[in-house]
Structure 1
Amino acid sequence: MIRMKSSRSFIFLLCPVMVVLFLYYSSFKMHLRSPVQKSQADLDRLLSVGRVVATEYDKQGFLTKPDRKLPLELQYTFGNLSKGECKPGYAEAKMTSIYPKFSKPAPMFLDPNFRRLSKINTYVPPFGVRKQEYIIDRILKATKRYSLGSELDSISCKKCIIIGNGGILSNKSLGSQIDQYDVVVRLNGAPVAGFEKDVGSKTTMRITYPEGAIQKPERYEKSSLFVFSAFKPMDFRWLRHMVLNEKMWITTGFWKSVARVVPREPEDMRILNPYFIQEAAFNFIGLPHNNGIMGIGNIPTLGTVAITMALHNCDEVAVAGFGYNMSTPYAPLHYYEKLRMSAIKESWTHNITKEKEFLRKLVKGGVIQDLTHGI
């Protein structure tokens, strides 16, 4: 009887010991299977939610290694389309694939219901319309139209191209290709006459601000939209004079001379949605916020603003004439004048370096096509 009790006691003692040995042996074998200790990055990856890993995106939210390859879901959507055929929703799909935070709904121009656009109501120009509501109401009441026009609005899939003013456009003979796009966007006072072979002859809209607007009435296209982009409160007062054909009495507050007349009917004038300036500056490029006030290095160039607008309103987006190559100081700065690349200086309002980084993301990710390969 005593022996049986001793045996039972021994078994009860042995069982826990065996369990401990088994656990130790199991953990040892698992360690042998993974000879390299997991790093903190590996642990972060294991702890991440879903398939998207935070370290794959930069601080602006863009994929750190974008490429032109179509994700499988986009291959299925666009893979069977004929070469050259417009791809509905392509720019939005590609943009979302490299920047998941992208949200397309953003009207191109302001209309009488612009107060519904909450993202621009809290900022003063150039990032919003605060304190300018009354004058905008007056302008919009006179212009009466707030879209591209019935012909372009009816196109279900739009191909758009933004024409920069860079000297890189010279001698490329891209004119006929540019004219094939549904929407051709030009910037400020860049001329067309005499340069058609390289820049095309078609102009759907010309985006500008007071100091950048063409000053000679005879140089205006007769069939394009005059699209106004405001960078300061004074700019809206200038536009009111142009739309209502009022005489300009005050010219102070501008950094250079401005046009005294715009030879376009009010129905051919539009106000660009300032959200595109806001989004390009703060979301895409990552410029200083400065409490939503224009400051040092926090204003995107008009070209990047136009590209941002196109991403929201076009199915395919291309650019030409973008990119400054500072390693070639004697190259022409613009396609229409003899000014050299060495003449360009970093503007106090722009950050050309950061802006170029953003545009390169779009090109590398296949979001936009760069016809002149300057970006």
Structure 2
Amino acid sequence: MLTCCCRPVELVHQYGNLSTGACKPGYAAAKMAAIFPKFVKPAPMFLDRNFKRLAKVNNYLPPFGLKAQDKIIDTILAATKAYGLSPELDRLSCKRCIIVGNGGILANKSLGSHIDEYDIVVRLNQAPVSGYIRDVGTKTTMRITYPEGAIQKKDHYEKDSLFVFLAFKPIDFKWLKYMIFKEKWQGTEGFWKSVAKDVPKEPSEMRILNPYFIQEAAFQFIGLPLNNGLMGKGNIPTLGTVAITMALHNCDEVAVAGFGYDMNTPHAPLHYYETVKMSAIKESWTHNISKEKEFLQKLVKANVITDLTKGI
């Protein structure tokens, strides 16, 4: 029952009669529009063959857009031939989604079975499932990543998940094309660390995330510097926040787990799957962690998203 006085009256009327646990259609978007009046839900999750019509992304270079990338994206999309989640998920009239972050706060919370109850489970970069099932669950609908963040060991890929690609720079699209056409990628020039040389996924299991979510998260929601629409100091949202933004447009309810860094506990684990400590975080050149935290706290406070690990 939505009876909290802080929720808009119309939401109480709309969702108050639903049975406990029932998916609430349009809930996240309605709550989002209450704190960001310009928020409009329709924004495709992945690029399809009509991507040139997406005016908001065609004026910017990667990572905020697709400028000058038409030809290579056409080639990639012609090979993948699939642009949705899956027929089963695309048919759902109400989608409950969870973004699983990589934070150490996930450890020993035993949230795995709860995470698996969501319709769509989104994971990020190389965060492992095997060996951590009790805390992170078994289900992976999609794994959002970029060349430097992609899993490098072929046997660590889940069988039934989508490989969802996010481009930060033009060369990233070239890398994706190599992965799709199973061509050998040599060297690391143009990347800030080594990249996967092979992605054991069929082209039909690969997607390109709509870069509008990076643009909107950075400039509309967090308020990062535009920098003439180019990647610069402190104006790139973290992958987790980009994933949340995507979910707000494409899911009816949005939850998160494993988000939040507590800098007051320097000896706490940074990630749930390794021993690196919180103190290893240095001031990031690309992200503005404090401004991003303010945005995420705003979402939690307004009940736009549910934070299962309460780290935000």
The alignment's TM-score, normalised by the length of structure 2, stands at 0.98
Letter in 1 for 2:295: F
Write 1 or 2 for the structure with the bigger share of helix: 1
Partner of 1:30: none
Measure the CA separation in 2 of the matches of 1:68 and 1:137.
Answer: 49
Match of 2:116 among 153, 157, 179: 179
Partner of 2:242: 305
Whether 1:367 and 2:268 are equivalent positions in the alignment is no
Counterparts in 2 of 1:163 and 1:155: CA distance versus 1, 3 Å? same
Letter in 1 for 2:154: P
Measure the CA separation in 2 of the matches of 1:137 and 1:250.
Answer: 25
Partner of 1:110: 47
Match of 2:222 among 257, 279, 285: 285
Q: Bigger shift: 344-353 or 156-165? A: 344-353
The equivalences for 1:245-324 within 5 A come to 245-324=182-261
* Per-residue deviation, residues 104-163 of structure 1 (Å, max 9, x unmatched): 110000001100100000000000000111000000000000000101001100000000
Letter in 1 for 2:126: G
**SS in structure 2 of the partner of residue 160 of structure 1:** strand
Shift of 1:250: 4.6
Whether 1:195 and 2:116 are equivalent positions in the alignment is no
Whether 1:333 and 2:270 are equivalent positions in the alignment is yes
Measure the CA separation in 2 of the matches of 1:316 and 1:256.
Answer: 36
Match of 2:163 among 226, 249, 253: 226
**SS in structure 2 of the partner of residue 86 of structure 1:** coil
Shift of 1:298: 0.3
Partner of 2:56: 119
Shift of 1:347: 1.3
Partner of 2:21: 84
* Per-residue deviation, residues 296-342 of structure 1 (Å, max 9, x unmatched): 00000000000000000000000000000000000000000000000
Measure the CA separation in 1 of the matches of 2:14 and 2:45.
Answer: 26
Whether 1:146 and 2:146 are equivalent positions in the alignment is no
Give runs of ≥4 in structure 1 deviating > 3 Å.
Answer: none
Shift of 1:68: 7.8
Measure the CA separation in 1 of the matches of 2:169 and 2:222.
Answer: 20
Measure the CA separation in 2 of the matches of 1:182 and 1:249.
Answer: 38
Measure the CA separation in 2 of the matches of 1:286 and 1:230.
Answer: 21
User: Please, what is the CA RMSD of the aligned residues?
Assistant: 0.9
Shift of 1:70: 1.8
Instruction: Identify which of structures 1 and 2 has the higher relative contact order when contacts are C-alpha pairs closer than 8 Å and 6+ apart.
Output: 2
Letter in 2 for 1:298: N
- Is the contact made by 1:68 and 1:366 (CA closer than 8 Å) also made in structure 2? no
Match of 2:103 among 142, 160, 166: 166
Partner of 1:18: none
* Per-residue deviation, residues 35-69 of structure 1 (Å, max 9, x unmatched): xxxxxxxxxxxxxxxxxxxxxxxxxxxxxxxx983
* Per-residue deviation, residues 71-101 of structure 1 (Å, max 9, x unmatched): 1111100011111100000000100111111
Measure the CA separation in 2 of the matches of 1:68 and 1:326.
Answer: 33
**SS in structure 1 of the partner of residue 88 of structure 2:** helix
Partner of 1:208: 145
Whether 1:356 and 2:293 are equivalent positions in the alignment is yes
Residues matched between the structures, number: 309
* Per-residue deviation, residues 189-212 of structure 1 (Å, max 9, x unmatched): 000001000000000000000000
Measure the CA separation in 2 of the matches of 1:345 and 1:169.
Answer: 21
* Per-residue deviation, residues 164-223 of structure 1 (Å, max 9, x unmatched): 000000000000000000000000000000100000000000000000000000000000
Letter in 1 for 2:264: S
**SS in structure 1 of the partner of residue 10 of structure 2:** helix
Measure the CA separation in 2 of the matches of 1:151 and 1:363.
Answer: 29
5+ unaligned residues in a row in structure 2: which ranges? none
Shift of 1:248: 1.0
Larger Rg: 1
